Amino acid sequence: MTANERDRHDAGAEQTTVLPETAADLVQLEKLQQSLAESEERAKSHWEQYLRAVAELDNVRKRAQRDIESANRYGLEKLAQELLPVKDSLELAVQNAGRADSASLRAGSEATLALLDKALDKFGVKMIDPAGEPFDPGRHEAMMAQESATAEPNSVLQVVQPGYELNGRLLRPARVIVAKEPSRP
């Protein structure tokens, strides 16, 4: 092969495409090209679906973040609205303290306490009053132990201060006096 022929051969090698040798190979090549085009179209469609899903997920995340911020900002609004009548009642009691008799002050205080209990109950705050129940260190705080001939040992003999829980979660343990066996002489 001469240099000229080699140059033509090398130049042609870059542009050479493999041609099928039979009609069956040509049909198979067309099928493969068609299959490749369909696969590329499906891949493009899947990519677009993926991008839409990512954008939707981002929108959901942003919306959830806004909802959380709003709940944090305005979550106490309902509680505050329920506590305002309690404050009004207490202010009225303070204003009338010099003119009212003890019976009306007591009645007003009881009404105010009932308003407060109603507001707390509405938001799931429940009082823990464990008198007579077995002592539970997870819900009760023992202030002292006292001998008792009538109460079961390690039970709550007296509630010094009730506890509170919010939807089953302890806010404050009940402060109690726990019964113990009487000492033997």
Question: Which tens digits make up the pLDDT trace of 125-180?
Answer: 999 999 999 999 999 999 999 999 888 999 999 999 999 999 889 999 999 999 99
Radius of gyration of the chain (CA): 41
What residue spans define the domains of the chain?
22-74, 76-123, 124-185
Burial of 5 (0-12, 13-18, 19+ CB in 10 A): exposed
Higher pLDDT, 5 or 156: 156
pLDDT band at 9 (very low <50, low <70, confident <90, very high): low
For residues 175 and 156, give the distance between their C-alpha atoms in angstroms, rounded to a whole number: 10
Strand ranges of the sheet holding 169-172, from the earlier edge strand across to the other edge: 125-128, 163-166, 169-172
- Does the pLDDT value for residue 46 go beyond 90? yes
Instruction: For residues 26-48, give the mean pLDDT.
Output: 94
Q: Are strands 140-147 and 125-128 parallel, antiparallel or unpaired?
A: unpaired
Model pLDDT for residues 105-130, shown as the tens digit of each residue:
888 889 999 999 999 998 899 999 99
Per-residue pLDDT, 23: 79
Beta bridge partners of 134: 155
**Mean pLDDT of all residues belonging to the chain:** 87
- What is the percent of the chain with per-residue pLDDT over 70, rounded to a whole number? 88
Higher pLDDT, 96 or 51: 51
pLDDT band at 101 (very low <50, low <70, confident <90, very high): confident
Which residue in the block uniquely carries the two structure tokens 């039979």?
22
- Does the pLDDT value for residue 86 go beyond 70? yes
Burial of 140 (0-12, 13-18, 19+ CB in 10 A): buried
Domain 124-185, CATH homologous superfamily name and number:
Head domain of nucleotide exchange factor GrpE (2.30.22.10)
